[in-house]
Structure 1
Amino acid sequence: MTDPLFSGPIWLVGCGNMAGAMLEGWLDAGLDPARVTVIRPSGKPAPGGVRVRADYPEDEVPALVLLGMKPYQIDEVAPALAPLLGAETLLVSILAGVELASHRARFPAPRTIVRAMPNTPVRLRKGVVNLFAEHRDTRVERLMGALGRAEWLEEERLFQLAGVLTGAGPAFLFRFIDALAEAGREAGLEAEQALRLARLMVEGAGALAAASDAPPAELARRVASPGGTTQAGLDVLDQADGMAALLRRTVAASLRRSDEMAAEARARPS
């Protein structure tokens, strides 16, 4: 990141939780904050002293634009932003559920539009960023790779699914941590201690799973002794209506909502 991938200005249109996490990760990786402008009506300060404006700069054409607002705001943003983009502007969107064709209908000038779906661990440069485009751009891969792992998907439908798995996945995991800590509290642990232990357990177990060549099922088997305490708990999770079934329903619900958002974006006037 110390070598600029883009020769011109970088605009972040919107800088909420996800775009802000990406910006923090890039700054930590060495991105020069002087090259970045955050555009948001609130004027709320951005990380690292990055310039913030309520309107678009009139004296520059951006080399890279990251769409980081809410998906439903695309039709509020497009009329003013689209005329400012050149053919060489690389447009990257993290708008969940808004298909590539819907972006192209609103932003016709850029030759390259890339959909990206990061997750919040990009703030620590330990994230996953799924990518989809008509034509791959190695600059985007390097830019997103500075935040963790950049993964291209061959089909937009698979991109949507991967976005649910990795983009929404941290929220599902955080719910698991809370639920485990609450179970410990109800069993007798002090609440703060139960939460601390649950967090530390997930941190260590996640690192072990990431570093091991063994599949997670095998790692679980190694923890559980036949007839032991771990196996007794796994027997509950492995019931027909247990964790696997719950997560199938969870992913399916998120994917349905992604499809609904895509349909809403297609239906809106561009």
Structure 2
Amino acid sequence: MGGAMLRRWLEAGLDPARMTVVSPSGRAMPDGVRVTRAVPDERFDTVMLGFKPYQLGGLRPVLAGLAPRLLVSILAGVEVATLAGLTGAGAIVRAMPNLPVAIGKGVVALHGTGELDRAEALMAPLGLVERIADEALFDVVTALAGSGPGFLYRWIDAVAQAGAALGLPADQAARLALATVEGSAMLAARAEASPAALAERVASPGGSTREGLNVLDRDGALVALLTETLRAAAVRNAEMAAAARG
């Protein structure tokens, strides 16, 4: 995710000479970006944490030496209070980006103790930026927007499989499903009406779309399924937060 964010920032015009990436493996980075295997002994204005949450414990000694003006963390489930106890940062902001940030069409949720204007300006080239006032809701936001692309990809695949089950060639069904989702999402994003209202506009009384929607809407099954899906992801985020505090 950190790499996707970096590439988008560079595409949006950020000077690569202003970026330093700490990569223990020495992984190659875009031209002009400085890469080091260990945190340099110097002061940085802004630091972003982009490693796996389970690595937090082993990196505590390194984090103790960090004192940037702004610390941005994309570590799922790791709370601001936990990070505040590990670093000397002036302000800490949690950010939850999702995969489409790579093309500037992502979602980035923010929650922090200060410097939110700076954090929002930094994230603006990545897509929609939303501030989350209550950190207790961050696990839900992570489940919806952070994990959401994975759930949507599964839905696209399921629609394609359904088309193939009814006789379409599998490759053709996959193309149709993907293009349908892409176009419908773009239209919904530009429309003044809500997605629910748009669905009603497509569904003529007694028509085929209405019959299909009747299946999706029956007993609130679709909403119940997605609520259960988001709850499972949110619970896992809370479990990771508890592990980080421990």
CA shift at 1:253, angstroms?
A: 0.5
What's the TM-score, normalizing by structure 1? 0.87
- The corresponding residue for 1:22 is 5
Taking the aligned partners of 1:196 and 1:189, their CA distance within structure 2 comes to: 11
| 1:99 aligned to which of 79, 83, 88 | 79
CA shift at 1:125, angstroms?
A: 0.7
1:38 paired with 2:21, answer: yes
Write the mapping of 1:118-133 to structure 2, written as runs, cut at 5 A: 118-133=97-112
What's the TM-score, normalizing by structure 2? 0.95
The DSSP-based 3-state class of the residue aligned with 2:2 is: helix
Taking the aligned partners of 1:242 and 1:262, their CA distance within structure 2 comes to: 30
- Aligned pair count reads 246
- The corresponding residue for 2:170 is 191
- The corresponding residue for 1:56 is 39
Identity of aligned residues (%): 52
Taking the aligned partners of 1:135 and 1:199, their CA distance within structure 2 comes to: 40
Measured against aligned partners, the alpha-carbon deviations of 1:196-245 in whole angstroms (never above 9, x if no partner) come to 11111111100111111111111001111122111111111112262111
Q: Is the 1:27–1:48 contact (alpha carbons within 8 Å) kept by the matching residues of 2?
A: no
Taking the aligned partners of 1:143 and 1:151, their CA distance within structure 2 comes to: 13
The one-letter code matched in structure 1 to 2:98 is: N
Please, which runs of 5 or more residues in structure 1 have no aligned partner? 1-17
Taking the aligned partners of 1:230 and 1:259, their CA distance within structure 2 comes to: 39
The one-letter code matched in structure 1 to 2:242 is: A
Taking the aligned partners of 2:24 and 2:159, their CA distance within structure 1 comes to: 40
Please, which runs of 5 or more residues in structure 2 have no aligned partner? none
Write the mapping of 1:1-270 to structure 2, written as runs, cut at 5 A: 18-48=1-31, 50-58=33-41, 60-83=42-65, 85-86=66-67, 88-107=68-87, 109-240=88-219, 242-267=221-246
The one-letter code matched in structure 1 to 2:26 is: G
- The corresponding residue for 1:10 is none
Q: Is the 1:94–1:117 contact (alpha carbons within 8 Å) kept by the matching residues of 2?
A: yes
Q: CA RMSD in A?
A: 1.4
The one-letter code matched in structure 2 to 1:82 is: A
Q: Is the 2:110–2:131 contact (alpha carbons within 8 Å) kept by the matching residues of 1?
A: yes
The one-letter code matched in structure 2 to 1:156 is: E
- The corresponding residue for 1:15 is none
Q: Is the 2:50–2:73 contact (alpha carbons within 8 Å) kept by the matching residues of 1?
A: yes
Taking the aligned partners of 1:57 and 1:263, their CA distance within structure 2 comes to: 30
Taking the aligned partners of 2:89 and 2:113, their CA distance within structure 1 comes to: 12
Taking the aligned partners of 2:144 and 2:36, their CA distance within structure 1 comes to: 34
The DSSP-based 3-state class of the residue aligned with 1:106 is: coil
